[in-house]
Chains A and B, each alone.
Chain A
Amino acid sequence: MSLNALWEFANPRKFIATTDRVLPWVAWAAALMLVAGLVWGFFFTPDDFRQGSTVKIIYLHVPSALMAINAWLMMLVTSLVWIVRRHHVSALAARAAAPVGMVMTLVALATGALWGQPMWGTWWAWDPRLTSFLILFLFYLGYIALWEAIENDDTAADLTSILCLVGSVFALLSRYAVNFWNQGLHQGASLSLDKQENVADVFWYPLLATIAGFVLLFVALVLMRTRTEIRARRMRALLARERMQA
């Protein structure tokens, strides 16, 4: 598919028709991968020799943290598309992704706290990674609140997309600022492809499955929510037309 064909999905009708066919596949694949990965991870992998069974939180923690950041990146891209090419579907997709990303952030924070209690001896520490995730959560909150607050759809899309751009820069700034501000307790990246010391393969394969499951789940949820937004907007237009005629 060439890049030009991608813009066809800016047409809401085309988008709905395509997602009609794609959505069930994505949703079932997400369910399959999640169930398979979680069952495999929870019941068929050994306990870690130091962390015991708490290591299994990794199957929820890492994918949700990954998706929390990727959801914001996706919002950034769709916001840019809205600013540059003004496709409504793009703005609606950004709007649809925000609550999903916020929940992912919350899941990552909550599972991290559950793991941190037995392992670090505390639910919460002002560690750079934890802090920047909390700040990311605040950014999601503000973004969603701004969408809700503005009545005119196009103005709301404009304002939120600019907020998303500015927010991305500041989120990045905050990420490195908190690094400077406090020393870390959180372990470093353990899934890098280019490093010697990584997660052991027993944990790595089920983790890969749950990561795929979370990605698919995110895609399915965003598609579903975007369709809802498109239909809600269409319904509003129809109602308005009806009122005009009455």
Chain B
Amino acid sequence: MIALLTRDLRLAIRAGGGFGLGLAFFLIVVVLVPFGVGPQSALLSTIAPGILWLGALLACLLSLDRILALDWEDGSLDLLATSPLPMEGIVSAKALAHWLTTGLPLVLAAPVLGILLNLPVAGFGWLVASLALGTPALSVIGTFGAALTVGLKRGGLLLSLLVLPLYVPTLIFGAEVARRGAEGMALTTPLALLAGITCGTIALLPFASAAVLRANLR
């Protein structure tokens, strides 16, 4: 499992594209928002937590089809499936690798982009915390979507259609934590619910992803 993880990480970093692309997309989304809504800093600072969460979510979505599609095309997914590692372990390692290469950089970059959107000072810590808690769920749910669409020729659009509704609860609670953090309100409830969603998806969704992948490889 660790070997698979390091292999995926190395591929993501060296094969180009995956690693930096999500970050660049995140940056561009955040830069485009003021053009769309106007440069008033008061307005920007109210919508900043939501925009940052949405941007992170979309950047995450963008890189989902790379989780499994490349391995599917060159046949290494079949080899992995015949290995002694259970399918649940494979999808978990894949999701973890996706989070390390996409989610974690997004979490680290978010405060910098928060400055661009005039995020209130109190919000920075909670923004990072909510993203750090929420993005693993995005990766795990995304892996499920990637497993569903792996065999399809043009699965990219379908993947977003399938995954985005599944992202709703995570987005609601994540953005709520970031917003309340920025406004200095009590945020224990959404924080606990966000953590609950992340833990629940990490614990349960790999089984669904593995079942889907097995059906796809049959």
Contact = CB atoms under 8 A, between A and B. Distances in A.
A70 interface: no
Given A142-B162, A158-B212, 11 more contacts: A135-B168, A145-B161, A146-B162, A149-B152, A149-B155, A155-B218, A170-B169, A173-B168, A177-B168, A177-B172, A178-B172
A138 B164 contact: yes
Q: Is the interface of B mostly helix, strand, loop or mixed?
A: helix
Contacts of A149: 149, 152, 155, 158
Contacts of B212: 158-159, 162
B109 interface: no
Interface string B162-177: 1011101100110010
17 contacts: A135-B165, A142-B165, A145-B162, A146-B149, A146-B162, A149-B155, A158-B212, A159-B215, A159-B216, A162-B212, A165-B208, A166-B144, A171-B165, A173-B197, A174-B169, A178-B172, A180-B176
B205 interface: yes
Contacts of B144: 166
Contacts of B165: 135, 138-139, 142, 167, 170-171, 174
Nearest to A137: B165
A239 B165 CA distance: 38
B148 interface: yes
Contacts of A205: none
Given A142-B165, A146-B162, A158 B197 contact: no
Contacts of A135: 165, 168
A58 interface: no
A199 interface: no
A75 B30 CA distance: 40
A165 B100 CA distance: 28
A179 to B, nearest CB: 10
A166 B205 contact: yes
Interface in B143-158: 144, 148-149, 151-152, 155, 158
Interface of A: 135, 138-139, 141-142, 145-146, 149-150, 155, 158-159, 162-163, 165-167, 170-171, 173-174, 177-178, 180-181
Nearest to B150: A159
A85 to B, nearest CB: 16
B138 to A, nearest CB: 13
Contacts of A180: 172-173, 176, 189-190, 193
B215 A141 contact: no
A150 B168 contact: no
Given A138-B164, A177-B169, A155 B158 contact: no
A211 to B, nearest CB: 27
Contact of A162 (B164, B168, B190, B211): B211
Contact of B148 (A163, A173, A174): A163
Contact of A155 (B197, B205, B215): B215
A33 B68 CA distance: 51
Contacts of B152: 149-150
B47 to A, nearest CB: 15
A139 B168 CA distance: 11
A52 to B, nearest CB: 36
Given A158-B215, A173-B197, A146 B169 contact: no
Contacts of A139: 165
By CB atoms of chain A within 10 A, which of B158, B169, B190, B193 has the most? B169
A155 B216 contact: yes
Contacts of A177: 168-169, 172-173, 193
Contact of A150 (B151, B169, B172): B151
A146 to B, nearest CB: 6
A162 B208 contact: yes
B173 A155 contact: no
Contacts of B169: 170, 173-174, 177
B67 to A, nearest CB: 16
